[in-house]
Amino acid sequence: MNAIRILLSESIDYAGLFPPAELDMGTALNNYAQYLVGPSSWALGRFIVPVSRLAELEVALQRIPSRQLELPRRFAALLGKDVEEDVQLLEAFNRHHSDRGATIDSVEVKATSENSIGAITRVVPASFETYIEIPIDREPGGLIAAIGQGGRRAKVRTGGVTQDAFPPTADLVRFLREAAHRGVPFKATAGLHHPLRAAYRLTYAEGGPSGTMFGFLNLLLAVAFLRSGMKDPEVAQVLEEGEPDGFQADDSGITWRKRFLDLKVLGDMRRLGMISFGSCSFTEPLSDLEALHLLPLQVRQA
């Protein structure tokens, strides 16, 4: 199997409701339904929705074409401040849709202290795959350890619609190192809809600001190399690699600057390291990979 297919299998959590896309619920859900039956469905993860918009989701689900009703639809819910109340809403949603193929099986929630992580762990049932977003502008080891002790997963924010929302490379490397050291899987979100690190427009607004974004390919491979023994300075170089020729992918693995990752390493990284990433576009990441000749059309649509 092609290395990029392994690297991106079920990796892109569709965040079309969020900036910079900010689509309405009906449009975003219809997109997701189309992606589920499209030739690139192998790369599609969950549909991300705030708990505060579950009522909108209920209405939009009723408008999905009947031919798609039997398709399994997986949702990740963003919890608000009242975690206990939100969990009750999710459980009610799942009971209502238990025979309709729509399931919220993952939640994402923010925490800034070990105490708040403990509270989340006590309230959110283990049946939900739980990602706890933590700040990384300070040493995150204690928070990541608390997440791991509770049997949950971490979440890291890697950007936004302003340049100051993007963390320094050193902070991101430190997070990756701590997560790997403590055996805590994670997901990433924001500013990751392009494969390689470069300057891009931060929003889709005409004349909007531009800034330097991390690439999702950079991030995935940085995690894989780190887990394979690479030291932090080189991991930072992988994160900051902006040359398309710096990466080569084929059916045996992926190479960066003569450093090789085989298919097993890539698969293990996806199972145990970086689980997925949120993107407001599902098509843009894949189209960009095609343009870079890293994802041949026949592989994308196989």
Determine the pLDDT at residue 101.
77
> Any idea where the domains of the chain sit in the sequence?
3-300
pLDDT tens-place string over residues 260-295: 999 999 999 999 999 999 999 999 999 999 999 988
Q: Cα(206)–Cα(44) distance, rounded to whole angstroms?
A: 28
The candidate with the shortest Cα–Cα distance to 158, out of 134, 177, 139, 142, is 134
Decide the pairing of beta strands 102-110 and 73-78: parallel
Q: Does 8 have pLDDT greater than 90?
A: yes
pLDDT band at residue 63 under the 50/70/90 scheme: confident
Determine the pLDDT at residue 295.
85
Determine the pLDDT at residue 97.
86
Determine the pLDDT at residue 71.
60
Determine the pLDDT at residue 99.
73
* Cα-based distances in Å from 17 to 20, 24, 29, 278: 9, 6, 9, 11
Strand partners, 248: 255
DSSP helix/strand/coil, 186: strand
The candidate with the shortest Cα–Cα distance to 57, out of 84, 81, 93, is 93
184: tokens are 């805590």
Q: Cα(245)–Cα(242) distance, rounded to whole angstroms?
A: 9
What integer is the mean pLDDT of 60-74? 72
181: tokens are 């050291």
Residue 4 near residue 249 (C-beta atoms within 8 A)? yes
Q: Cα(21)–Cα(218) distance, rounded to whole angstroms?
A: 22
pLDDT band at residue 301 under the 50/70/90 scheme: low
What integer is the mean pLDDT of 229-236? 98
Instruction: Spell out the residues 6+ positions from residue 34 whose beta carbon is closer than 8 angstroms to its own.
Output: none
pLDDT tens-place string over residues 168-225: 999 999 999 999 999 999 999 999 999 999 999 998 888 888 999 999 999 999 999 9
Percent of the chain with pLDDT over 90: 86
- Mean pLDDT over all residues of the chain? 94
31: tokens are 């997109």
Determine the pLDDT at residue 206.
84
pLDDT tens-place string over residues 80-92: 999 999 999 999 9
Q: Does 299 have pLDDT greater than 70?
A: no
Q: pTM of the full predicted structure?
A: 0.95
Note the CATH number of domain 3-300.
3.20.20
264: tokens are 């097993």
Determine the pLDDT at residue 302.
60
Determine the pLDDT at residue 70.
53
